Amino acid sequence: MLSLFDGNSSRRDFLTVGSLALGGLSLPSLLRAGEPTRSRIRKNSGGQSPDGRILTNSATIEPVRHAAATGKSVIFLFMHGGPSQTETFDPKMTAPSGIRSVTGEIKTKIPGVTFGSTFEKLAKLADRFSIVRSFVTGDGRHDIKPIVCKDSLDANIGSIYSRVVGQNHPANGLPTNCLLFPRAVDPTTMPGITNFGKFDSTGQLGPAYSPFVPGAGGEMQSNMKLKVPMTRLDDRRSLLAGLDRLKRTFDVSTASGLDTITQQAFSTILGGAAEAFDLKQEDPKLVARYDTAGLVKPEQIDKKWNNHKRYADNAKSLGKLLLLARRLCERGAGFVTVTTNFVWDMHADVNNATVEEGMRYMGVPFDHAVSAFLEDVHRRGLSEKILLVCCGEMGRTPRVNRKGGRDHWGNLAPLLLSGGGLKSGQVIGQSNSHAAEPQTEPLRIPRLIGTILNTLFDTGTLRLNQSVPTAVSNRLTGYEPLPGLS
């Protein structure tokens, strides 16, 4: 049975629909995984709070209440393709030509610490995040290994989070695990690349815990509204027609996956969470601050690179993707992946630009978008509640190749962490003189995963919580966090 409530009616005007189905598939309980208690919705009248934080007119959703959850959220900005450690956060300007940063360096707010010169805005905000210069991903393969718990689970962190707390927020139906490709904010962009790492892979957890993937900006928001009057919800044909239209928003290959996406979508519609995906609800001035569309115009991108459309897509979408991610976390999502569509791969080959040129296409929007996000969450008082993680699947070779690119390198990679209650304004670890490998203790992916898990969960409580399968709780409590951040 499924109870529906029209927010414009009195509490007595409930409509109960039994045995609801979509395309021959049953629609069971919307929250079959875990039993978090219902959270409250706090209304926000706009303006500024007494401490100067910016408030909006939208509802602020309290985090999912689960015995093992901390109430914090994680945004993982995945720099797909593998960013260069040298042109980002470790320029090595004393190294010989061909090794040191080809874009030069810029002083930061932290004395004695420099970044690649592309990161002009982030340099001024360096006290709000930490950089790891001894981060090692372990190999140079294109995949999504930094956000996957390997071994017995082999599942994405976001899917694990939704397995523990439930797939949907109990107050508004918002999916707790979301994946944002450029099409989430701009329907003109190319489809997300999944053949170099399946972002929706759930490993041993099964397809029921795949992330919620918004489709094409405004079209998706429209599709998430059934446009069926509550008085007609007892009309089975009208209801199923609306749900069938919504079903086409998602790409699901298995019956169990379709069943879960249907649950998530229906819960999202009736809970009012579709509003979270609508950037028009934000102050236009804030949207403009985030917007990266004008920083790299299509006509400025050399068409000889096969990835020129993806460079343009990244510039059109990255800022708004981070704004959307903030809106989702603010309204109850626990894990949001933002991916930049495989364009940090700067080989200077037929597909990819040189490092110097590629940093103009990728580094400039990244600098703008991440700095806008850091300023925004700080003003809203959300810095402690949202952890931002930025890294790719690898770094780049210490030496520039003969065409001006850098190739795959698994021995060192850049890593940025901000918020979530972690210490900021510091550099953790050191690389050797050529930024080829760590000079201090190598900090590998399990330590990053440990930091994320300790942000999302009280691991001690998680181990004892009987609603979480032992195979899950035991695996999640085996990761040690990165040093120096707590």
Q: pLDDT digit string (tens) for 243-260?
A: 455 445 444 444 444 456
What letters, b where the CB count within 10 A reaches 16 and e where it falls short, cover 310-347? bbbbbbbbbbbbbbbbbbbbbbbbbbbbbbbbbbbbbb
Of residues 205 and 336, the one with the higher pLDDT is: 336
With cut-offs at 50, 70 and 90, classify the pLDDT of residue 2: very low
Query: What dihedral angle (degrees, nearest 10) is formed by the CA atoms of 452, 382, 69, 422?
Result: 40
Query: What dihedral angle (degrees, nearest 10) is formed by the CA atoms of 382, 318, 163, 327?
Result: 40
The mean-pLDDT minimum among 23-32, 150-159, 217-226, 442-451 falls in 23-32
Report the DSSP beta bridge partners of residue 387: 74, 419
What percent of the chain is predicted at pLDDT more than 70? 74
Judged against a pLDDT cut of 90, whether residue 222 lies above it is answered with no
- For the chain, the average pLDDT equals 81
With cut-offs at 50, 70 and 90, classify the pLDDT of residue 270: low
pLDDT of residue 170: 81
3-state secondary structure of 363: helix
Q: What is the rounded average pLDDT of the residues 465-484?
A: 83
Angle at the Cα of 322 (from 321 to 326), degrees rounded to 5? 120
Nearest-10 crossing angle of helices 255-271, 236-247: 110
Angle at the Cα of 201 (from 198 to 207), degrees rounded to 5? 145
Q: Is the pTM of this model over 0.95?
A: no
3-state secondary structure of 238: helix
Of residues 273 and 304, the one with the higher pLDDT is: 304
Residue spans of the domains in the chain: they are 45-476
**For residue 288, what are the CA distances in angstroms to 43, 310, 319?**
25, 21, 9
pLDDT of residue 41: 41
pLDDT of residue 220: 39
State the amino acid at position 91 in one-letter form.
P
Of residues 146 and 226, the one with the higher pLDDT is: 146
Secondary structure E strands in 233-339: 335-339
Q: What is the rounded average pLDDT of the residues 430-443?
A: 98
What percent of the chain is predicted at pLDDT more than 90? 59
pLDDT of residue 395: 98
pLDDT of residue 32: 34
pLDDT of residue 61: 56
Q: Is 98 left (phi over 0), alpha (psi -120 to 50) or beta?
A: left
Report the DSSP beta bridge partners of residue 37: 65
Of residues 268 and 21, the one with the higher pLDDT is: 268
The mean-pLDDT minimum among 118-122, 177-181, 200-204 falls in 200-204
Using an 8 Å Cβ cutoff, are 377 and 419 in contact? yes
> Radius of gyration of the chain from Cα atoms?
22
pLDDT of residue 370: 98
Using an 8 Å Cβ cutoff, are 89 and 131 in contact? yes
pLDDT of residue 114: 98
